[in-house]
Structure formats: structure tokens, C-alpha cells
Structure 1
Amino acid sequence: MKALLPVLLIALLSACGESSSTAAGSKQCGVYAIGPNQIKEILKSQQAEPAPGRTAKDKLPADFPPELLDPQGYYRGMAVYCTVEDARKALVDQKHSDWGIYELSSDWKSNVYLADDGANHLRENATIKQAVE
């Protein structure tokens, strides 16, 4: 569970992402997320937990913030972006400092959905492949 804490932190902090206008087009999307720079150190140690996908409330820590749950009682999954540029814009819009962009080992078409909050989120857990910047 201790190793899961940084990933939950990412999930909590990046859940306020906005939908990507480029994702709606015919453009080929990667899957990118934003999160604290400490993830870069975790990736070096190869102890990184997967980026969380949509998760039932009973599988979350008891103190998980209820405002991050959808109307069905699920955590929506990590907010994700189609391109590095979309992720970079989210960093600026959300005014995060000491954060980076991470590429996930996942497929946009099969593992990303537009949630009720208007943002794109992971449907299933995905491995953090690498830090992009």
C-alpha cells in the first residue's frame, strides 16, 4: 500500500483535467498524464505502481475524497491527455509546479473514456512507461 501512495497522489491531483479537443478528432492519440516530479524517482527504482483506472469505492482507501467519485460511486481513473502538448497545457492551466508529463503504456481507443466530468480518464490501470518532461 505504501508504494500505491504516490500513484494515488497523482490520481487525486490530476483528476481535475479537462477534455482534450484533439482527442475528439481523427488524430492518433498517445496516452499521457501529469503528476508530481517524485514519480521520476520512483520510475528509476522500478517500484512504480500502475496509473489507476476506474475503481470501485470499496477498493479505495477509506479516506479517499468523495468529490473524486462519479455518480455511480467509482473513482473515474487518472485524467489523461492525447498529446504531450495537451498535457503541457493542463500543467499550465492547473498551475502545477514541480510536476511532469508521463507517457503511459496504454491504448487511447481501448482504455480511455470521456467521463461525466468532461475529462478523459483511464478505464483500466496502465503502466507508467516513462517521464516525457
Structure 2
Amino acid sequence: MKALLPVLLIALLSACGESSSTSAASGEQCGVYAIGPNQIKEILKSQQAEPAPGRTAKADLPAEFPPELLDPQGYYRGMAVYCTVEEARKALVDQKHADWGVYELTSDWASNVYKADDGANHLSKNATIKQAVE
């Protein structure tokens, strides 16, 4: 079960819908925020947090990784991310996630975020989950 936890977290985090790029496009300084299940808060307390996943080739994913989460080139897009806490909160409301929270990532928007084929902003490389925002 422990080996399956990262795969489940990736799948849950991948289920996040489109993120807005309005703030990034307007020149606002962006942080890097994500949404995910409250289970991540417990993992953070244990000091055993998995990194927030970035874009990953299918060959580097576990065999049981859901194929529907891959882009047309066969890559996992990476965790969906948001420029501001407010955008992440809005995504929680829009997606009607119960028992989910907002997390700040230790990453840089300009060098580690890209707009994927699904129209959302995603991590291009792994990042560390710094803290739960709420």
C-alpha cells in the first residue's frame, strides 16, 4: 500500500482541472500553489512528503499509472498549479473538492511552470511541497 500511495496522490492531484493563467499573463509575481487531498497535510507532518510531480515520461511512471492521465505525447503533464492562493481556492470551489486544501510549493513559476495541452498550468519538473496554506 505504501508504494501505491505516491501513485494515488499523483492521480488525485492530476484530477485537478484547468488552472488560470490570468495573473501570470498580467505580469503579477506568481507563487506556485497546488490543491490536493488533506491527506498530504499528514504526510507533511511526518517529514516523509513525496515531491509534487512534474512532467514525466510514461516509461518513468509505475506500470499501474492510469493511462487517461497522459498527454498525447505519452507524458504525465505534471501537477496542475496556480499562481495565487486565491486561484487555488477558486479551483477548490469550482471543482467541489471536499477535504482538500491549498499547498505552497517550493518552486519558481517562470522556470518550472508551463501551459499544457489541456490549457492548464502544470509543473515541468518535480517540486517540493513546502507547506499547507489552509
Q: Please give the TM-score of this superposition, normalised by the length of structure 2.
A: 0.92
Structure 1 residue matching 2:27: 3-state secondary structure:
coil
Q: Provide the rounded CA distance (Å) in 2 between the counterparts of 1:123 and 1:40.
A: 23
* Residue ranges of structure 2 left out of the alignment (5+ in a row): none
Q: CA deviation at 1:49?
A: 0.9
Structure 2 residue matching 1:86: 3-state secondary structure:
helix
Q: CA deviation at 1:13?
A: 2.4
Q: Provide the rounded CA distance (Å) in 2 between the counterparts of 1:33 and 1:3.
A: 22
Q: Provide the rounded CA distance (Å) in 1 between the counterparts of 2:49 and 2:3.
A: 7
Q: Deviation per CA, 1:78-98, whole angstroms, max 9, x where unpaired?
A: 000000000001101111000
Where in structure 1 do 4 or more consecutive aligned residues deviate above 6 Å? Answer: none
8 Å contact kept, 1:19–1:114 = no
8 Å contact kept, 2:113–2:121 = yes
8 Å contact kept, 2:19–2:91 = no
Alignment of 1:61-72 (within 5 A): 61-72=62-73
Q: Provide the rounded CA distance (Å) in 2 between the counterparts of 1:103 and 1:3.
A: 24
In structure 1, the residue matched to 2:19 is 19
Q: CA deviation at 1:3?
A: 5.8
- Across the aligned residues of Structure 1 and Structure 2, the Cα RMSD in angstroms comes to 1.5
Q: Please give the TM-score of this superposition, normalised by the length of structure 1.
A: 0.92
Q: Provide the rounded CA distance (Å) in 1 between the counterparts of 2:79 and 2:63.
A: 18
Q: Which letter does structure 2 place at the counterpart of 1:63? A: E
Tell me whether 1:2 sits opposite 2:2 in the alignment.
yes
* Residue ranges of structure 1 left out of the alignment (5+ in a row): none
8 Å contact kept, 2:7–2:65 = no
Q: Report how many residues are paired.
A: 132
Q: Provide the rounded CA distance (Å) in 1 between the counterparts of 2:130 and 2:97.
A: 21
